[in-house]
Chains A and B, each alone.
Chain A
Amino acid sequence: MSTAIAKLSGQGFAHHLTWLVLRVLPFVGMILLWDFASRAFDVPVLFPGPLTTWNKAVELIAEGQLQADILISLWRIAIGFVLGSLLGMTLGLMMGLSRPIADTLGPFVHTLRFIGPIAWISAVMMWFGLGETSKVILIVYTTTFVVLISTMIGVLTVHPNKLRAARVFGATGFRLFAHVTLPAALPHVLTGARLAMMNSFMTIIAAEMVAARQGLGFLIFNSRQWMEVDAIFVGMITLGLLGLLADRLMALLTRLLFRRFRPADA
């Protein structure tokens, strides 16, 4: 800790302070603006201010409600995301490497791409029940598409000279794939995964709004019945923070685990 402070003052304490203030200021400003707007609007039930929202958050946390909702939503996303990424990557690789497979699966991929996951919610619930499986399947669906397309692009855009060089050095068939194509495509796969994570958040919230008894989406939509707009705000802000956290976490993990595979300018 003391070394950190020493470093800070070494690099210009004023500089760091300004940086911090500039980052925090917009949010402080927004909160003040929010407070002002809610007072001006003057219908606390319909448009609660920051303080009311904060109190509601505290209340929900004390009841354990907020934590439970967060965990459920995250859990569903996590499983679906992992499964979907694996499936999407596999299919994307197959489609990128094999023209026949790309031709065969192509019409299905390019049509289903336009049908959002929630359109399937009734069907999925009918076939897989009202429980967790349906929600996870929807996440798998949306993740698969995003990762599939990114992976396919990654495979198709490997520079021919990389493949030619490998052939010169005796790498063909599976070795060519494992040592060249796969690593070359990996940056695209990772970009796709990050995008898919955001899509997964959107999907789970929608699914929970339409057909769940728990989760942040349920919390948000259900609170409408009781006109608890403060609870709605709590849910939405929590969602934003979680999404932000997940995105930053993914970026961090990518940087740590896949240091070699980031695009050069990342």
Chain B
Amino acid sequence: MSFIAFREVGFRYGEKEDAGNSILRGLNLEIARGTFYVLLGPSGCGKTTALNLLAGFETPRSGSVLVEGRPVQQPGMDRVVIFQGDDSLYPWLTALENVEFPLRMTGRGAAERRNRAEAWLARVGLANHAAKFPHQLSGGMKQRIQIARALVCDAPVLLMDEPFGALDAQTRTILQDELVDICAGSGATVLFITHDIAEAIILADRIGVMRAGPGSAVKDEFELDLPRPRNRGSVEFAAVYDRIQRVLGEEVQKVVMREAAA
């Protein structure tokens, strides 16, 4: 039995089922413990919805989302989330206090909180900015705060919803490499959402490509056995990129055609 499993998961907003409003239909996905799984797909394919279901922010209309065989009921510290953008950070707390937040909620002592938070801030390179407020920091730094905040929880599952989407290409590259390092050490199981193929190949042990919506599911999966650290310029990288691009490209094309028609 897999650590994380989506079994025939369906999701839609609204009451009645019709062709148009179904976001996910018959989604099947298995993620083994310790895997870095990247979900790739065109816009609107429901990959964020899949993450929200696993996080416990939404409940599936049909099918089930299981962790260690038990259905997901609600959000919890065992499945921490890194959100897209910086809206989940608390602007009235400093970087350090933001990272301490989960520890405060679980009742850790002040000294332990500060030590662990400071350690993780240093790990993501923000040691000198611990006392700053989010609005004083760049987009990349704010994402690092989120990473530190999530990892300070020592959770078995990490959920990341296009965390680097709003950042410039250089910062994205740097953070991707750092994330690989951090996650390798932690042994966590990761579900990472992106629409960027290169990002997926850098990060993933396994990649799932989703169909274009509505009523989307996983189209194809790729097991990546490229040695780490992965070189974006290598021939092997390009070969994998090409294979994935063929599969994803078809789906992206469908979205483009649909948008042009409407």
Query: Are B92 and A186 neighbours in the complex by a CB distance under 8 Å?
Result: yes
Q: Report B-chain residues with C-beta under 8 Å of the C-beta of A3.
A: none
Which of B56, B75, B77, B90 is within 8 Å of A162, CB to CB? B90
CA distance A40 to B55 in the complex (A): 77
B79 at the interface (CB under 8 A from A): yes
Which of B75, B83, B133 is within 8 Å of A167, CB to CB? B75
B128 at the interface (CB under 8 A from A): no
CB distance from B207 to the nearest CB of A (A): 25
CA distance A184 to B90 in the complex (A): 8
We find that the number of chain B residues with CB closer than 8 angstroms to chain A is: 27
Q: Report B-chain residues with C-beta under 8 Å of the C-beta of A165.
A: 81, 83, 88
Q: Would A169 and B92 be within 8 Å (CB), given that A161-B87, A164-B57, A164-B81 are in contact?
A: no
CA distance A265 to B135 in the complex (A): 9
Query: Are B153 and A169 neighbours in the complex by a CB distance under 8 Å?
Result: yes
Which of B76, B90, B134, B135 is within 8 Å of A168, CB to CB? B76
Query: Are A169 and B90 neighbours in the complex by a CB distance under 8 Å?
Result: no
Which of B27-35, B60-68, B100-108 lies at the interface with chain A?
B100-108
CB distance from A183 to the nearest CB of B (A): 5
We find that the number of chain A residues with CB closer than 8 angstroms to chain B is: 21
CB distance from B223 to the nearest CB of A (A): 29
B91 at the interface (CB under 8 A from A): yes
CB distance from B203 to the nearest CB of A (A): 21
CB distance from B154 to the nearest CB of A (A): 12
A99 at the interface (CB under 8 A from B): no
Query: Are A164 and B83 neighbours in the complex by a CB distance under 8 Å?
Result: yes
Q: Which residues of B contact A (CB under 8 A)?
A: 55-57, 74-77, 79-81, 83, 85, 87-88, 90-93, 101-102, 104-106, 133-135, 153
What would 18 A/B residue contacts be, using CB atoms closer than 8 Å?
Answer: A159-B87, A159-B88, A164-B81, A165-B81, A166-B101, A167-B56, A167-B75, A168-B81, A168-B102, A169-B105, A169-B106, A170-B76, A179-B104, A180-B90, A183-B90, A186-B92, A260-B93, A264-B135
Q: Which residues of A contact B (CB under 8 A)?
A: 159, 161-162, 164-171, 175, 179-180, 183-184, 186, 260-261, 264-265
